[in-house]
Homo-oligomer: A and B are copies of this chain.
Amino acid sequence: MKLYEYEGKELFKKIGIPVPRGIMVTSAAAAGEAAAQLGTEVVIKSQILQGGRGKAGGIKFAATTGEAREAAAAILGSQLKAETVSKLLVEEKLAIARELYLAITIDAVKASPLIMASAAGGMDIEEVARETPERIVREAVPIFRGLLPFQARRVAYRLGLAGKEASAFTDILLKLYRVFRFYDAELVEINPLVVTDDGKMVAADAKVNIYDGALFRQIDFVKGPERYDNEREYRAARYGLGYVKLEGNIGVLCTGAGLTMTVLDLINYYGGKPANFLEFGGATYKNSYYAMQLVLEDPDVKVILINTFGLVARADVISQGLAQAIKELKPTQPIIASIRGTGEEEAREILRKEVGLEPYANVEEAVRAAVKLAGG
């Protein structure tokens, strides 16, 4: 679950990481008031979850309250990176001397939290990483022992920092690690970490991604509909289903991420186009009813293609849900299905008897049939 910048900065403030003075607003009038209250030149930042908002025009500067109101009015309600902007963070404009980069994420290979930092922060950090990887300092943190001050200092020195800057950076990094651990983050990132003209170090941005699989114990965070690209994806997630809308016309229902991706690959291979990604494997197989419902909501869908080869997802249970959905929702589109795995005999029996569906012998046959029906 991605946090908005203003939410991340609240966590930072609570733990003592310096952030700019700022106020979150939802209207142009409030943006003007916030600018007046801050009493300085301000920056007005659209609160969206995707990166790249700066280049897309989602950040504006304002020297007066009037300018702040205007800038806010221009951004609010606009579409940025497929998100509708409804919240703005109005912040004091920093006098930026230099921009650093600092992140903690997870190194799957070393199985440890990984600190990445660079003296060359800002919007071009990915280019820095590609062109001059030696300018990215990396430190793996032993998970049980945790981040100790000496290791945080070492990062500071490796960035070429000294004196008060090294101390301020060390302090921020130690606190950022506590945010990372305490909130079950998969990513915390400050870009840029600004050194101001008067030598202070301030987190000018805040990215905090809570690992979705830890939300059960991170009870301060609820992943509501605003965190999804659209309402259907949100609803899918509530049923435990992974759903992504795509451009084609073959409605896909599959168990397991790997098989689902393979089915999409095969559809493309045979010249068709999938209407969606939809995975209902794992412990959520009972939700095959909801899966069918979601796919049928999409008006682009011309053919429904079901592929399962379940392990924990038992074919018989899946088929019960599907049969129920077909009986109740009465889809007009043709349905192609290949249902295999644990309980496959009973599953075929259910589909045949209850809804007259004759499953295909394997995935590729099913895909070829669906592509043909969809006009591919």
Contacts and interface: CB of A to CB of B under 8 A. Distances in A.
Contacts of A144: 144-145
Contacts of A145: 144
Interface in A109-146: 144-145
Nearest to A144: B144
A254 B316 CA distance: 84
A182 to B, nearest CB: 14
A145 B146 CA distance: 11
A58 to B, nearest CB: 43
A220 B144 CA distance: 27
Nearest to A143: B144
A319 to B, nearest CB: 39
A180 to B, nearest CB: 18
A141 to B, nearest CB: 13
A320 to B, nearest CB: 36
A267 to B, nearest CB: 46
Interface string A321-341: 000000000000000000000
A208 B145 CA distance: 26
A174 to B, nearest CB: 15
A177 to B, nearest CB: 16
A147 to B, nearest CB: 13
A16 to B, nearest CB: 16
A149 to B, nearest CB: 13
A143 to B, nearest CB: 9
A256 to B, nearest CB: 31
A145 B145 CA distance: 8
Nearest to A145: B144
A258 B326 CA distance: 86
Interface string A137-162: 00000001100000000000000000
Interface in A314-369: none
A312 B7 CA distance: 52
A363 to B, nearest CB: 42
A192 B144 CA distance: 34
Interface string A28-63: 000000000000000000000000000000000000
A364 to B, nearest CB: 46
A82 to B, nearest CB: 43
A35 to B, nearest CB: 39
A120 B144 CA distance: 35
A148 to B, nearest CB: 12
A60 B145 CA distance: 47
A144 B145 CA distance: 6
Nearest to A146: B144
Interface string A227-264: 00000000000000000000000000000000000000
A113 to B, nearest CB: 15
A275 to B, nearest CB: 45
A65 to B, nearest CB: 43
A235 B133 CA distance: 59
A263 to B, nearest CB: 41
A144 B144 CA distance: 6
A144 B141 CA distance: 14
A145 B144 CA distance: 6
Nearest to A142: B144
A142 to B, nearest CB: 9
The 2 closest A-B pairs by CB, nearest first: A144-B144, A144-B145
2 contacts: A144-B144, A144-B145
